[in-house]
Amino acid sequence: MDYIGDGEMPAPALIDTRLNGREASRILERILWNIRLMLDLHLVHGDLSAYNILYQDGEICIIDFPQMFDPRTNPNGLELLRRDAVRVCEHFERYGLSVDGEEFAAGLWKAYMG
């Protein structure tokens, strides 16, 4: 396990961070890319939110993986993927960004299930 922080303080959770508009857009794009990457690797976080994403020097680090699962074997895979995406997208609404988390998850799932 790596320490994420500046040596004096741990990196804050995204929920405790204020971003400017351009940075918020970039970070949301990066998180959605990570959700897609995890699904490509047959993984869904299952509890992703702004509380489980650290932010330090313009970079994110997703944490809290114990509940991660393989959606090929979990009958609730789509619902949990949807919940992850919706939570993240709802967090970024405070920055005026509007991404439909349900639509994003449904598109990923459709492509994933082929």
Q: Is residue 7 pLDDT above 90, yes or no? A: no
pTM of the model: 0.94
Domain boundaries, the chain: 14-113
Q: Which residues are catalytic?
A: 47, 64
19, 68, 44, 92 alpha-carbon torsion, rounded to 10°: -20
pLDDT in tens, 28-40: 999 999 999 999 9
Q: Does domain 14-113 have CATH number 3.40.30.10?
A: no
State residue 24's pLDDT score.
98
For residue 11 the two structure tokens come to 């990196």
For residues 32 and 71, the answer to whether their CB atoms sit within 8 Å is no
